[in-house]
Amino acid sequence: MLKINIPEEPNWIITKLIESGFDAYVVGGCVRDSILGNIPKDWDICTNALPQDVKNVFKEIRIVDTGLKHGTVTIILNNIGFEVTTYRIDGEYSDCRRPNDVYFTNNLIDDLSRRDFTINSMAYNNNVGLIDCFGGELDLQNRLLRCVGKASDRFNEDALRILRALRFSSVLRLTIEEETAKAICYNFKLLSKISVERISSEMNKLLCGLNCSIILKEYQDVISFIIPEIKPMIGFSQNNPYHVYDVWEHTLVALNSSPQDLEVRLAVLFHDISKPATYSCVDGVGHFYKHHLYSEEITRNILKRMKYDNKTIDNVCLLVYNHDVEITNTPKSVKRSLNKVGDLFEKLLDVKYADMYGQSKKAVDEKKDILDGIKLIYQEVLNQSMCFNLKDMNINGKDLLLNGFKEGKQIGSMLNKLLELVIDGIVENNKDDLLMAAKLL
């Protein structure tokens, strides 16, 4: 018999509800993750107790009304929130997002049957064990993702489930079952009814999954529906000795070679997005002049449209812009790049490595030693606390003012010139040498 180790707090909630005459189980993702041997992030509980019944049972405990209309209250134990939701049946869906009405039920099976995928439709408590009416445990064993009931019905109820399917497949490395896959391909345009915030949230998780590249390739029509700027990349030949893949295939291989960091993966996804628009051919060889500049512009427009926060937009765009900017394996070049990208330098290296591994063997042979050398120099720069930005200089605007320089643009300009001299190794980073250099400039 399957045994799930439920933590103390949710187990206490379940026990208290059962002792009060109700049914209660942990349900959904926490059961799925436990069966997979992963540590659940949340422990959600379902029960036949109505919300007011739950409040009465836990009247001495802090409770937050998080979704009374849908039967959900949150019990706070040890500063952790645990959602407790009454068994329910969903009414009709008219907007492909949420049910028009919700009806409470005393039947656990009714509640489980309204859920999206079999792997998320299992419940468990220590008294009864696993409740699995739709074969979720077997699907996990077979690494399959399958809708509960008719897949098209589930996607028409909430179109975001289409992206959730891709996300679960990417993160949990599951194969999407045939009928579910067909329903995705038939219904993906329903995603136009979903808010960009919800779409972006699922896309972020999908992109950081181990199976990301496989899913993006198999469901490229879905992805290019969400981000139409991707469509010209698909099948676009590069006609270049440094490339053995078309633009989209190159991007997928690069993604597969990148760490599971959201900013890095977004940058890799978009780093060559302007290549079809910047393509030119000279003597049968393809070129993409200034594509890093135009890719940065397109990336910014996409991320703004998808309501990403400003920090993520700026960081990803900085990585995209600099992915093709040359850095040589010299301290001077590395420090100049550090001055441009700052704390993002390691992520920039991740993007450059990924970009390289998505190219030809010729490119890897020529570029890998250079990138490895840059990585070593970067570590030396950090270890030796070398100066590569204004805040690390042993002089500031106040020092210049005290030595006769006029307040205003001249101060900023002079500090930047002095920084260049320090980065180039012409002047030592000490106040006396810097003041002397300033007077000679």
**What is the model's pLDDT at position 251?**
98
**pTM of full prediction above 0.75:** yes
Q: What are the backbone dihedrals phi and psi of residue 281, each rounded to the nearest 5 degrees, phi first?
A: -125, 125
Q: For residue 418, which of 400, 440, 438, 436 has the smallest C-alpha distance?
A: 438
Per-residue pLDDT of the chain in tens (441 residues, 90 and over written 9) = 789 999 999 999 999 999 999 999 999 999 999 999 999 999 999 999 999 999 999 998 999 988 888 889 999 999 999 999 999 988 677 666 776 678 899 999 999 999 999 999 999 999 999 999 999 999 999 999 999 999 999 999 999 999 999 999 999 999 999 999 999 999 999 999 999 999 999 999 999 999 999 999 999 999 999 999 999 999 999 999 889 999 999 999 999 999 999 999 999 999 999 999 999 998 889 999 999 999 999 999 999 999 999 999 999 999 999 999 999 988 888 988 988 898 899 999 999 999 999 999 988 999 999 999 999 999 888 776 677 777 777 778 777 777 767 776 677 777 777 778 877 778 887 777 777 777 777
At how many degrees (to 10) do helices 331-341 and 310-322 cross? Answer: 150
Predicted local distance difference test score (pLDDT) of residue 275: 96
HSE on the CB side for 257, CA within 13 Å? Answer: 19
Taking Cα atoms as reference points, which of 352, 346, 345, 349 lies closest to residue 389?
Answer: 345
Q: What angle do CA 215, 145, 211 make, to 5 degrees?
A: 30
Closest residue by Cα to residue 113 from 76, 79, 150, 138: 150
Contact 32, 143 (CB under 8 A): no
Per-residue pLDDT at 95: 62
pLDDT at position 338? 86
Give the whole-angstrom CA distance, residue 119 versus residue 148. 9
The reported pLDDT for the residue numbered 105 is 92
What pLDDT does residue 400 have? Answer: 75
Cα angle, residue 180 at apex, residues 174 and 186 outer, rounded to 5°: 130
Gap between the terminal Cα atoms of the chain: 80
Domains of the chain: 8-137 (3.30.460.10), 143-226 (1.10.110.30), 230-362 (1.10.3210), 390-440 (no CATH)
Residue owning tokens 């975001």: 160
The predicted pLDDT at position 307 comes to: 97
* Coil/strand/helix, residue 224: helix
* 231 contacts 224 by C-beta, under 8 angstroms: yes
C-alpha 108/C-alpha 111 separation (Å) is 5
Count of H-run helices and E-run strands, the chain: 22, 13
Best CA proximity match to 198, nearest among 158, 171, 228, 242? 158
DSSP 115-166: SSBGGG--EEETTTEEE-SS-HHHHHHTTEE-BSS-HHHHHHH-THHHHHHH
d(CA 189, CA 185): 9
The answer to whether 307 and 200 are in contact (CB under 8 A) is yes
pLDDT of residue 413: 79
- From residue 383, alpha-carbon distances to 25, 82, 333, 386 in Å are 53, 45, 17, 8
What's residue 143's pLDDT?
97
Tokens for 201, please give them.
């949230």
| CA–CA distance, 130 with 149 (Å, rounded to integer) | 20
